Amino acid sequence: MPLNGSDLDLSASQPQLTTSRSTRLGLLKLMYLSREGDRREGVLMRQGRGWFQVSGTGHEALGALSMAMEQGDYLFSHYRDRALLLARGMTNYELALAYFGKRNSSSAGRQMPAHASCPKRKIWTALTPTGASMLPACGVAWGMKLEQKDSVVVATIGDASTRQGEFFEAVAFAVERKLPVVFVVEDNGYGISTRTDRMNPLRLKLIHEDVGITTLDARNPENILAAAGPALAKARQGHGPTILHCELDRLCSHTSSDDHRIYRVEEELAEIERRDPIDLVAAELIANGELTPEQWQELREEIDRTVDEEYALAERAPDPSPEENADHLFGAPAKTNAPSMEGDQKWRMVDAVNRVFQEGLENDRRFVFFGEDIEDPKGGVFGITKGLSTAFPDRVFNSPLAEATIAGVAAGLACYGMRPVFEIQFVDFIGPAWNQIAQNLSTIRWRSKGEWTCPAVIYAPYGAYLAGGGNWHSQANEANFAHVPGLRVVVPGTPEDAAGLLWTAMHTDDPTIVLLPKHRLRQHTHVTSPVKPVPFGQAVIRQTGNQVTLVAWGNCLEPASDASAELAGEVSIEIIDLRTIVPWDRETVCRSLEKTGRLVIVQEDVRSCSVGQMIISDLTSCPESWDHFLCPPQLVSREDVPIGFNPICEYSAIPDTERVVAALRKVLEG
């Protein structure tokens, strides 16, 4: 039967959380079970039966944290938290499956060992960059507070990662919102081989003590319990976060790819061995007459046998199938009713977006809006959220000027079960959020084999064609997002499409990037029919023709349309509005190309590694579509140059009517 912390007596008497003999003995068993799993993996590595190991040796006493936690609490774990994972109910066999990367492990072999995930036990899917889990932890804690739950988030992090900006942002956000989160810094003094004593912000007093910092010797589980009890109680009572600064020792190399004997002297290694937490706890129990040496020996032998058996069983378990590698990259298409937005009126895109946001907030309390300056009276720099915070003050909030916070909190809030719709003020400012978007939001479903979902919408005004924006207010960069597996990327070009695509995005279970072309945000357009949800991957033909296929999206629909009008009577042009970048509608483009034999793509993004190049490469590399071409396709694009402030710089860089006309004439000559 698989061993875990639930098999051991880890009960503690409340409210003092003092430990009984059975609890102390249970903790010792838990710690040794964790140690023996690590030892067994080390043996397997030396035998060539495994690819990688992360050991929690020396961190075992942290399993005591679980005694202060309740069933509804969430754990955001560090990769040395083997004992804590066992204490929260994961089994040794499950960890063995993860070590071998097996199909039935918590990630189906997609994550390294020690990167646990279990929604049932509220163990969030772990990240290798440990600092990157702190903001999602705050997102879950914020969800708890919005729902007025008395649950708590425990988020553990290595001491080296506390120098990452996202850790500081998480602490700041938790303090600002008085979130029910306890940050546990596992300070073993090293970041691989680098000493952290002169880098750790807690040792350097870079975080104000008013945050609530408790420093403790975490080699002793009694110390951990004494500190964790008040910290979690404080969080449950609505008094905000605490940082538990846990001093302990890493009794092993950083990973199986490292050898700490290269950078740690023999005297240091001997000293930390004398502080082995398992030896200390066992010696205390024996000295107190609560355990005999013979009983301790029998206990270890029993656990040794069970661990060996379970690792042998796990090694024989099925491996992942190559055919399943793309499973759980995306969920099923969204199914939703149409928003109640009538047609036959003049509309601006900004009004359509505002109205669809309002309807979402009216109909589903899970929607939460967050972004820089989105509250009234400003309602966002483009007025997209005007009036929403007045009507829904409990779910529309200004964010700090911190894009990583916006994206990271979105990830946690979405995994918790809310539906965040978060604004990046301009897509040009996406850089600080990139770690969360590319490494976290986009991978959550895939790396947890679909057990965690992340229904987050990140929207941003984007693009040029408004003079004076300069380099940091005028970028079109959809290819950056399209390159990241697991993200849906859409670029609406009309008010009804903006509403329809956003409505679909707001009801899908995948992270979606919605890029709103700001040149078209305030253009008045006559909308003829009621707004309907727009399925992802479905382009629309804006104008039929039979001589040239002209594909565009976003702001570039305008120069495409103007070029077609200039050549009216001279050439029959079919204009396709792609609308969705990921997935893109290959079928519609290919069907048009079959009719016309000529292709021109107009995009605002730079040329190199762009969506336009991707489409051309795809169509020309496939024999079926290649046979349709009568001449080489043409790409009208911004060259590989930033956008300058002076309008001369801007308009000389981006596609215009003249360049589109030239490209159309070129394919007609081919």
Residue 554 burial class via C-beta count within 10 angstroms: exposed 0-12, middle 13-18, buried 19 and up = buried
Question: Could you give the CA distance from residue 24 to residue 13 in angstroms, rounded to a whole number?
Answer: 12
Question: Could you give the CA distance from residue 380 to residue 421 in angstroms, rounded to a whole number?
Answer: 14
30 token code pair: 């838990």
Torsions phi, psi of 182, nearest 5? -115, 120
173 token code pair: 């956000």
> Which of 430, 433, 463, 479 lies closest to 582 in space, CA to CA?
479
- Is residue 339 helix, strand or coil? coil
Question: Could you give the CA distance from residue 239 to residue 223 in angstroms, rounded to a whole number?
Answer: 22
Question: Could you give the CA distance from residue 616 to residue 539 in angstroms, rounded to a whole number?
Answer: 16
Amino acid at 537: G
Return the HEC string of 82-147: HHHHHHCCCEHHHHHHHHHCCCCCCCCCCCCCCCCCEHHHCECCCCCCHHHHHHHHHHHHHHHHHC
Residue 483 burial class via C-beta count within 10 angstroms: exposed 0-12, middle 13-18, buried 19 and up = middle
Question: Could you give the CA distance from residue 87 to residue 64 in angstroms, rounded to a whole number?
Answer: 8
If phi > 0 it is left, if psi is from -120 to 50 it is alpha, else beta; for residue 399 that is beta
Spatial CB neighbours of 160, under 8 Å, sequence gap ≥ 6: 190, 191, 192, 194, 196, 199, 200
Amino acid at 602: V
- Is residue 603 helix, strand or coil? strand
Q: On the CB side of 562, how many CA atoms lie within 13 Å of its CA?
A: 13
| Other C-beta atoms lying within 10 Å of the C-beta of residue 542 | 17
72 with 125: CB under 8 angstroms?
A: no
Torsions phi, psi of 431, nearest 5? -50, -55
| 78, 245, 254, 473: the active-site residue | 473
**483 flagged as catalytic:** no
Positions marked active-site? 473
